Amino acid sequence: MKHWTDLLAPLFFYLIALWFFRFGQGRDIMGNPRPGVTDTWRNTTGRTIRRVVILFAAAYTALLFLNLRSA
């Protein structure tokens, strides 16, 4: 049987990934625009942040599926 912390680790990871993704969009976690974020920042740095978050989330999800498959 899994320990309860094994079930919370993905939840925390995806919550932090959501926060970084929203940060890359120029918004806070609730969807409100952050002050001082320009379209230029959103189209350069923000796009890079969003792409990195997507890559990390895909890799983490693949590892979770591999772990489920071996169990």
Using only C-alpha atoms, the chain has a radius of gyration, in whole angstroms, of: 15
pLDDT tens-digit profile of 8-28? Answer: 889 999 999 999 999 999 999
Q: Where are the beta strands (DSSP E) in the chain?
A: none
pTM, full prediction: 0.85
Mean pLDDT of 50-66: 95
Average pLDDT, the chain: 90
**33 three-state secondary structure:** strand
pLDDT over 90 (residue 2): no
**Which pLDDT value is given to residue 71?**
61
Cross-strand bridge partners of residue 33: 27
